[in-house]
Each structure stands twice: as C-alpha cells, then as structure tokens.
Amino acid sequence: MEKFDQERLLNELRNPKTQQQAFAKLVKEFSERLYWQIRKMVISHDDTNDILQDVFIKAWTNINNFRGDSKLSTWLYRIAINESITFINKKRAQNNISVDEEDSFLLNTLEGDEYFDGDEAQKLLQKAILTLPDKQRLVFQMKYFEEMKYETMSDILGTSVGALKASYHHAVKKIEAFLSNVH
C-alpha cells in the first residue's frame, strides 16, 4: 500500500486541474478518522455525519487559504473540532444550558443511540467523559482513544504541551472519581 503523502496531495489540491481528484483522495483518507473524532464529541451518528459534511465543505471552500503552516491532517482536525464545538454550543443554547452545566442532552443522546454497540462499561466510561468540560473532554479523547501525541494535539488545539498534560491528568482524575462513585 502506498504511503499517504500530504505534501503531494497539497500540491494537487492547489492545482486547478487536479483539485477535484485530490479532494476526493483527501475525503477518502480522512473521513473515518474525522468521523470518530466528531462522534466522540457529539455522540449522535446523524449529527456526526452532518458535521463531517460541514468540515469537508469548509475545507473545500478554504483550501486555497491553507498556507501549509501545519499538516493538512492538523488543519482538518482543527476544523472538525471547531465545527463540533460550534454544534455543541448551539445545542446548549437551544436547551438553555450554560457551559458549566452537565451536557445532559449528550447523555440523553448516548442513552438512546441505536448505533452505540458498547457494553455497560463502555457506556459508563462515555457518561464519565461527558461530565468533563469541553477542553478536558477533547484532550482525554484525543489521548486515550486516538493515542495522539501531545505535540500533535498542541498543533491542533493551539495549547502548550504542559497545559495539555495537565488537562489530561485532571480529566483522568475526574473520570476515576465518577467511576468510583457509581458503585
């Protein structure tokens, strides 16, 4: 299997003759990873698909503005995370929920998710994760589920490695506390 070359793809994306084909490659390469990143944040399969479409629309319309200061994948993750946070904030506003309150609408979505195929332990972990503030939730998911390096997260989130390590540590402590109070 040919190794994915982000540099070459970027050159193809910048060339009007190869742009559409290159964008199809981009979608094929990143759809699944971005889907799961978004899904972990918004829980709902349908909402995730909608947001994923928005991410690729935003990427397509802004590809000529992409300067290449970061990797293409970093840029796409940043768009996906921003779109997910925007979606969650809209949901909060619709439900009159402040940022400090628990995202009960996400818990309800998890409870009623027909696509969720995890066992009770998985569901408990997801509930614990949903009690975290947005940034901690994001850092925990990127580190725990995606095994992403702190340096990569730092590029995506624009946060120092030290702050990300602290966020992850606090998230783990809160999840442990949540899970120990369940039994």
Domains of the chain: 1-100 (1.10.1740.10), 118-183 (1.10.10.10)
Q: Note the residue count of the chain.
A: 183
Q: Is the CA virtual torsion 126, 129, 134, 139 positive or negative?
A: negative
Mean pLDDT over 97-124 rounds to 60
Cα torsion 163, 168, 174, 176 to 10°: value is -150
Amino acid at 160: S
The least confident of 89-103, 104-118, 168-182 is 104-118
Helices 19-42 and 134-144, interaxial angle, to 10°?
110
pLDDT at 106 (0 to 100): 61
Distance CA 123, CA 5 (A): 37
